[in-house]
Chain A
Amino acid sequence: MGNLYWTHAAMTATGYITDQATANAVSEAVEAACDARGVARFIAVRGMPIFSGPHAGAVFIPLDDISLDQRLMHEKMRDYPEFQQLVAMLGGLDARIDIDTQDLIDPTNNTEEQ
């Protein structure tokens, strides 16, 4: 009975396909938004390399609807004007895709089982 909760996890992640320069720009904008508000950099955007699949070589920025609905401080992430600007910069919410999470794993350096 104890292991009934074992189910297979979602195999996709939602976010943007972009390049490293854009990912860096988004990351710096989030840091600037934290700094401008005088708060710690408690959240960050860090692009993830895509190792395989149709977007191999590009950079993935995860941003799903659950994250958008998280409260940062007083408000949800999606309600901050800075995030709205960043989303617009990335092509809007409809530009997001669901990527196979296997495409985010480096096939040559899998350290999950040590």
Chain B
Amino acid sequence: MIALPHFRPAFFGVGMDADAAAYIAAVKNTGASVSKTQSDAIVNFIETGKFEGWYSSLKRLHLPIWGAVAPNAIDIITRSSGTFVGNITHATGYVQGDGSTGYFDFGASPSSLGLTTSGGSAFALINQADSRNDGRFFIGVQTGGNRRLYIQQAFSTLLRSTIYSASGAAINTSVTQANGILLTAVNSATDRYLKKRDSSGISTTIISTSSTTTAPISNVFAMANNDALNLLISGHTNARLGAYGLGLGFTLTQGDNFTLSLKTLWETSTGLTLP
């Protein structure tokens, strides 16, 4: 009897996760270089998310760490591209608007991505907060009927988020520094939260709301607020952003796990440390 060798799964074509492979290929196709460390980090992030159950909630995830416009515009989840507008620095590890003209248009609205009253989220990784204290948006959209979705640096020591109605569901969190990974999400039919993960750990602010306002129907922007209600783009930030995106709802545990994995992905891929 011939003993069969113990093949590794890759020998049977079960190698790199298909979603990870497709994203890495899309980035490389723009001319960007993806190191093995970065490739491994992307694979680990996606496989962890699928194992822990939060990956399927993600609808858009941009990782603008590549130092060039085209790869920074690619969404990890769908491999579609958003659009950069205005004056923006594309550095290694983050993008930074000029605080008055630069922003990123996701090319999709929360509603079109399937976010609903019972399930929705937005997030951003802030490597360096805005230098001002007058209300700047890391991610935001506002449409008629008081439909809003945003994460805002309201003041240097106050973060604010809303899903989907500011008047009925604004979440305010006092902080010492407005940087880290910020995740706001629908937790249950009545609970919404804002999580902040930084070098010191993670904190969560939960509110209860009876608001039944539905998801906005205009494109979401990062680095500014798409105030489609007033035909304005406002609140441009000069913060440094290393990731941003949208998803369906996350449980509290999923929120903890997702933000931890995103921190690992960004730090491993950039060599930088989340403040």
Contacts and interface: CB of A to CB of B under 8 A. Distances in A.
Contacts of B128: 5
A86 interface: no
Contacts of A7: 131
B234 A42 contact: no
A62 B102 contact: yes
Interface string B167-204: 00010000011000000000000000000000000000
B152 interface: yes
Interface stretch (A17-25, A87-95, A101-109): A101-109
Interface residues of B, number: 57
Nearest to B107: A41
Interface in A59-87: 60, 62-64, 66-67, 70-74, 77
A13 B100 contact: yes
Contact of A114 (B81, B88, B102, B152): B152
Q: Is the interface of A mostly helix, strand, loop or mixed?
A: loop
B238 interface: yes
B60 interface: no
12 contacts: A3-B156, A5-B128, A8-B131, A10-B98, A14-B87, A48-B101, A62-B98, A62-B100, A67-B86, A73-B31, A109-B230, A112-B135
Interface of B: 30-31, 67-70, 72-74, 80-90, 98-102, 105, 128-137, 142, 148, 150, 152, 154, 156-157, 160, 162, 166, 170, 176-177, 225, 227, 230, 232-235, 238
